[in-house]
Amino acid sequence: MPLWPIHPKPKEGELLSSWITRLARANHMATADFCRVVLPDKSTTLKEIDRTYNAEMMQALADGAGVPIERVWETSLLSDEGYVFNHRSYGTTEWVLPTAAVDGVDGNGMAYCPQCLDSDAEPYYRKSWRFAFNPVCPTHRAFLRHGCPSCGKPYNYFYAASTQPSMANLIVTCRWCGATMRHAPADQDNSALIDSVLAIQEKINSGIGSDSFAVFGHDYIHAQPYLRFFHTCMNSLTVPDKARWVARNHPEALPKGINVAVLDRNDYTFVIEQRSPEELGTLLCLADVLMGGWPDRFMHYVRKLKISPHKFFSSKTIPHWVTQSASEFWFTKAEGFSNGEIENAGQILRKKLGRPESEGELKVFMTLGKVRNLDKVSHKKRKEAELSPANFELKHSGPGGDFPRKKSDKWRKLIAVESAELLAKIAVLRKPAQIAADEPTTQLELFDKK
């Protein structure tokens, strides 16, 4: 393919769609027409192009602009696949700020730094602005902006750039009212919070660049599993009560300017990627506190707020490095269990299930007092719901017994324990002979240890 008549090179840190927009304008074409004429994939829209892999398109851009294919690849969000996120070509991708509504919930539009755009000889959109872990501009030490400063509507340059070839400075112009993004006021008031967020941003971006994060108890953790867990921590902290708990219990580790009240909102359907830059900065600081002093602070958080691992990770797979480093605290030290108690619990669970128990079943049994997968056990075994702490044998509780059966859902029948006292009976499986006669530790105290 010959070179295009005018072929500006991608700028340092520029996003692919921004570069294509500038290429189209330089050749006096609407972006949609430019993509349709010169790019092989006619169906790809500008909105999708940043995270859509197409080898022919990449090669066409490299040939037409006279740049190495590696340089074209760097402008795409997909160059960070496997480091920042797992690939998704639709919906919300972890850490990637959406450009439009997600699941029917309107977002804030694309984030941008008005001072950067104002200082550019030719404005361009930075790739780093699309990531939720970069809510602060490191050059101007200010939170990124969302929305038009004039009409307040979400900002993106996709639609205006697609249809209006003659419009000057497409990337800095609001498609709704025509106002310029360059004159939006800078948000630099909270310097203490900004400094803390910048330090976290630098650590995250450095870890992505080297594909390694330092975590106590491990040599190094690869970027993607580390960031996935960090993202899960932030997601947990979007609940205001949990965020306030961290702020109340670890004030010394947080910047003075942090205000967790910014996380209070009427609509909790917003995913992390749809939060404002100040909200993202607050969540980054709170999650960084939980990650500090690993795993003690994190274990204190999940234990005191009674967050089970299965509830914390929800539908996500628990990262192997978290299981390795936190299992001793989550399922042994944090609950005061000895190796003998864990073995006793395993023996009881095998009696209940009539087969060897899995590690996950044992953890749920010891932490929540629940037996999973009883629907796969015979009716007779299912009735054996109550254990006797004296000899660790199972008894049928009968109607009105202390351990009534409950159906969690149609797939599982669980033995539910309502109070901490009953939980201590079923979960702390200590034989009387194992308890010191002088000052025995009460069962409930084992659950309160820090």
**Cα gap 363→342, rounded to integer Å:** 9
* Confidence check: pLDDT of 333 > 80: no
Burial class (CB in 10 A: 0-12, 13-18, 19+), 297: middle
- Residue with the larger pLDDT of the pair 353 and 41: 353
> Residue 146: CA atoms inside 13 Å, Cβ hemisphere, count?
21
| Per-domain boundaries in the chain | 16-183, 196-327, 335-448
Among 96-105, 205-214, 425-434, the range scoring the smallest mean pLDDT is 425-434
Higher pLDDT, 101 or 153: 153
DSSP strand pairing (394-395 vs 386-387): antiparallel
Of 43-47, 93-97, 316-320, the range with the highest mean pLDDT is 93-97
Give strand pairing partners of 405: 415
Q: pLDDT-derived band of residue 177, with 50, 70 and 90 as boundaries?
A: confident
- The residue that leads in pLDDT, 61 or 450, is 61
Q: What is the mean pLDDT of the chain?
A: 75
- Give this prediction's pTM: 0.73
CA-based R_g, the chain, Å? 27
Among 208-212, 267-271, 410-414, name the most confident range.
208-212
pLDDT band (50, 70, 90) for residue 265? confident
Instruction: Match 């942090």 to its residue by tokens.
Output: 258
Q: How far apart are CA 257 and CA 278, in angstroms?
A: 11
In this prediction, residue 442 carries a pLDDT of 33
| CA 127 – CA 401 distance, rounded (Å) | 61
* Least confident residue range of 335-339, 354-358, 359-363: 335-339
pLDDT band for position 365 (50/70/90)? confident
Q: pLDDT confidence of 52, banded at 50, 70, 90? A: confident
pLDDT at 159: 63
**CB neighbour list of residue 408: distance below 8 Å, 6 or more residues apart:** 414, 416
- Specify the amino acid at residue 181: M
Give me the mean pLDDT over the 412-416 stretch. 31
pLDDT-derived band at 432 (thresholds 50, 70, 90) equals: very low
What burial letters (b/e) apply to 216-226, b meaning 16+ CB within 10 Å? eeeeebebbeb
Q: pLDDT tens digit string along 152-173?
A: 888 888 765 444 444 457 788 8
The answer, yes or no, to whether residue 288 has pLDDT greater than 70, is yes
* Residue range 318-347: mean pLDDT, rounded: 66
Across the strands, what pairs with 332?
Answer: none
Mean pLDDT (whole number) for 371-387: 52
**What is the predicted pLDDT for the residue at 113?**
95
Q: What is the mean pLDDT of residues 384-389?
A: 40
Quick one: pLDDT band at residue 362, thresholds 50, 70, 90? confident
Q: 38 in helix, strand or coil?
A: helix
Is the per-residue pLDDT at 234 higher than 90?
A: yes
